[in-house]
Amino acid sequence: VPNLLGPRYISPAPSGGFVVSEECGDVKVFTSSRKLLCSLSSKYGHRFGNPAGVCVDVDGSILVADEQRRTVHLFPERGAPVCLVSAGLRRPAGVACSSFGHLFVADAGENCVKVFKYRVRPP
């Protein structure tokens, strides 16, 4: 996949595609045939500081850690983005989510992994 601006983190998507964060830029979603499906900043009108870790949950929502803004946002397939974590992170880098609604954030600023529950309905 050419023409990425400083690719950093990548995650598979349930559809067979994948999601890539770009340093100081954007997060792009690709199909299984490696074609650009969308840019999250364009689709949602969201401004990233420095997007880092990305993952996709069981509902198909994309979660993105932003190192510069010290946040984690959820981008649903439909609807507006939701800020899941807006405090308590020094330098969020990697993110992962479980099928039980737990969000794991590698905080490089505090040398630890922080665990959050972000989904209240059962899987």
Question: Which pLDDT tens digit goes with each residue over 19-44?
Answer: 999 997 899 999 999 999 999 999 99
The reply to whether the predicted model has a pTM over 0.85 is yes
Domain spans of the chain, in order of start:
7-117
* pLDDT tens, residue by residue, 100-119: 889 999 999 999 999 999 87
Domain 7-117 belongs to what topology?
Neuraminidase (2.120.10)
Q: How far apart are CA 74 and CA 109, in angstroms?
A: 21
